[in-house]
Amino acid sequence: MAPREPQPKYLEPLLGVVFDLDGTLVVSQHDFQRMRREIIRLAERNGVMPGHLKVTDPTHKLLEAARAELQADNFPAGLVYRFDAEVTHTIDEIELEALPRTVARSGAEPLLKGLTERGFRVGLLTRSSERFCRAALARTGLAPYFPYLRTRSAPGPAKPSPEALLGLLVEMGVPVSRALFVGDHFIDAQCAVHAGVRFYGVLPEPGEQNPMTAERFLAGGAAAVAKDLNDLAHQLSVAAPIEGVHASS
């Protein structure tokens, strides 16, 4: 069987492009290992059996597993809410420590400027907190390109729930069939695929602790893979221009 073409042509014009933040548009060197250790510490302090949670699991999986165990053991709802609040506060603080070293990935600003000038609606879907997200966008000069964004601080489901992406697309006024989600992680691909939204993977920068490869992205449902943001900009230039549509409309 012939290998899949990593750069397919579009069958219809795009209207909106949603981006992941960390790793995709900016590099912040978050201490995810510390975040995972803190989630486990707080979970065990609140009643989760020691050894049940693995530090190798992603943060959203750790949180889901901890909540599920507390609820299955009939812990009071107030305790589960307290655990959520403690985790949120702790992760938020660890995130903010990375802000001084957060930089935009090469090509991010020209890519976003080009999409905006061509009339695409641009949105941001991230598991970062609202506080970190807005500060990181301001620090890197990318804030003006995002009239639409959804963080883990927003009410309702968070990424990788497909409902988070679908809700953002509703705010943007973009039909699923005319949307694209761009990310650098497997959970971004999962989110897009489960929402029925076309997905493009962007390979991590050299040195990043991210195991994603072109093969893993394609196996996870990506329609295409870009080696970096400049490559992504080149790939998106094949999309048909959208006449009479503006990001602010």
Per-residue pLDDT tens for 10-42? 545 889 999 999 999 999 887 888 889 998 998
Mean pLDDT, residues 172-191 taken together: 96
Q: Are 200 and 188 found together in one domain? A: yes
pLDDT at 81: 85
Residue 17 parent element (H or E): strand 16-19
Q: Are 129 and 224 found together in one domain? A: yes
pLDDT at 12: 57
Per the domain annotation, does 51 fall within a domain?
yes
Q: How many CA atoms lie within 13 A of 53 on its CB side?
A: 28
Burial 96-126 (b: 16+ CB within 10 A, else e): eebeeebebbebbbebbeebbebbbbbbbbb
pLDDT at 211: 86
Range of the domain at 88: 32-97
Could you give the number of structural domains in the chain?
2
3-state class (DSSP) for residue 189: helix
Q: What is the DSSP secondary structure assignment for residue 209, as one 8-state letter? A: S
Average pLDDT, the chain: 88
151: domain CATH number is 3.40.50.1000
Q: Are 60 and 150 found together in one domain? A: no
pLDDT at 71: 87
Residues 6+ apart with CB under 8 A from 249: 173
pLDDT at 189: 96
Residue 31, Cβ neighbours under 10 Å: how many? 14
Per the domain annotation, does 137 fall within a domain?
yes
Q: Are 147 and 209 found together in one domain? A: yes
